[in-house]
Amino acid sequence: MRKFTLIMMLCVYSITSFAQNDPKAKEILDKMSAKYSNIQGFTATFTQTLENKMEDITDTFKGEIVVSGDKFKADVAGQLIVNNNETVWTYLRDANEVTINNYDEEAGEMNPSKIYKAYQKGYKYLYMAGEGSAQYHVIDLVPEDKDESFYKIRLKIDKKTNLLDKWTIFDRAGNIFNYEVTNFKVDDSLNADDFVFNPSDYPDIEVLDFR
């Protein structure tokens, strides 16, 4: 009976911990957010891996990313995405086709320019003690909206630099998206023109404008 009571107490404690925002996690997330907020712009290469054990799928892509404030440009797997926080261009190289949409911040898209401050609204967060290597702080973000397509984001933040080196998105369809950043470089020379896609630069391009 005593063992059963102890197990119940541990379960209740675990549930309560997730129901509240973890102060230790918040301290680390605030440091990470402050670090990126003080960087005008940066470039990096990254690796994206899609895993789905149920479907026996493992796909890996390498890409490049440029970020300045809320703007970003990502080039991966034959697809170029340019987002200037007002308009999103998605260019498919093989099809020589670009789709243009208005950017909808409320859509909940987890884009590379916002992941370091996503925790500030709509998420619970928990420090995952004992997870990962000694190099990282490991923190789980759980969306408060149960209708989100994903149920958890796991962040791995470098303890020395306060930079986000890796993150994993777990979606409800069984897909696991792993991201790892490499060759991170601060770039103060970026300007608004770097985050505009000009279709006239691509001869015979097909333009699908949904704005």
pLDDT 10s digits, 123-161: 999 998 666 568 899 999 999 888 888 899 999 999 999
For residue 36, how many other CB atoms are within 10 A of its CB? Answer: 17
User: Does some domain include residue 11?
Assistant: no
109 part of a folded domain: yes
Domain that holds residue 94: 19-209
Domain annotation covers residue 182: yes
Residue type at position 164: L
The answer to whether residues 50 and 176 touch, using CB atoms and an 8 Å cutoff, is yes
Residue 192 located in a structural domain = yes
Looking at residue 96, which CATH number applies to its domain?
2.50.20.10
12 within domain boundaries: no
Q: Which of 71, 99, 105 is nearest to 193 (CA)?
A: 71
**Tell me, what's the pLDDT at 10?**
31
Quickly count: other Cβ atoms within 10 Å of residue 166's Cβ.
Answer: 18
- pLDDT at site 131: 62
Q: Determine the distance from the C-alpha atom of residue 44 to the mean position of all C-alpha atoms in its chain, rounded to a whole number.
A: 14
Length of the chain equals: 211
Residue 13 placed within a domain: no
Q: Tokens 């190099």 sit at which residue?
A: 135
In a domain, 62, yes or no: yes
Count of domains for the chain: 1
Structure pTM?
0.78
The vertex-173 CA angle with 179 and 44, nearest 5°, equals 15
User: Residue with structure tokens 């369809």?
Assistant: 173
pLDDT digits (tens, 9 = 90+) for 55-114: 899 999 999 999 998 899 999 889 999 999 999 999 999 999 999 999 887 665 556 767
Task: Indicate whether 10 belongs to any domain.
Answer: no
